[in-house]
Structure 1
Amino acid sequence: MGIQAIIESFGGIRGMATKLGHRNHTTVQGWADRGLIPAQRQKEVLDAARKYGIEVNLADIIPDPPTPFRNPTRRHRRTAPGRVAA
């Protein structure tokens, strides 16, 4: 489940903001725009989901780690021990 699906399960941006007790929806809008819920807010979201019977778990909230970039066209030169590649 992605962040958008979590927000929709709460009833959309305004619905989620209301259920979390936020006066303004812009905080949740920012999460939707960035595609992530900040770490310091994740417990708050899980607690609200439990309170309102919304099925969300921690694995749904925590984003996948970024994939390290590897340039497939660059080749590394091997050098003899003690020598520096030019």
Structure 2
Amino acid sequence: MVADHERAALTEALDCVDGVLVFAEDTPERVLAELRPDIRVKGDDHAGRRISEAGLAEGRGGEAIVVPYLNGHFTNPFVIRLTQQAGTP
């Protein structure tokens, strides 16, 4: 298992990502209300269901989108492979 801070660092390194926040609450509504993102992205395990926090983005003209999972492209194996290649335990 990859720690949250490692997964966040990997995600934040992507050019298309403005920022990453790890939160302790069960849902992100409080932090999303403060950050006011234009786009809320969820994995396709939410496909066909209403994203509970979608209204926070949509109420300001933003959107909530669902993106597909890509087989073999999960962060745990990716981070583990990168750390092994770098020789880091």
> Which structure shows the higher helix fraction?
1
TM-score (norm 1): 0.24
Higher relative contact order (CA 8 A, sep 6+): 2
> Which structure shows the higher strand fraction?
2
Rg larger for? 1
TM-score (norm 2): 0.24
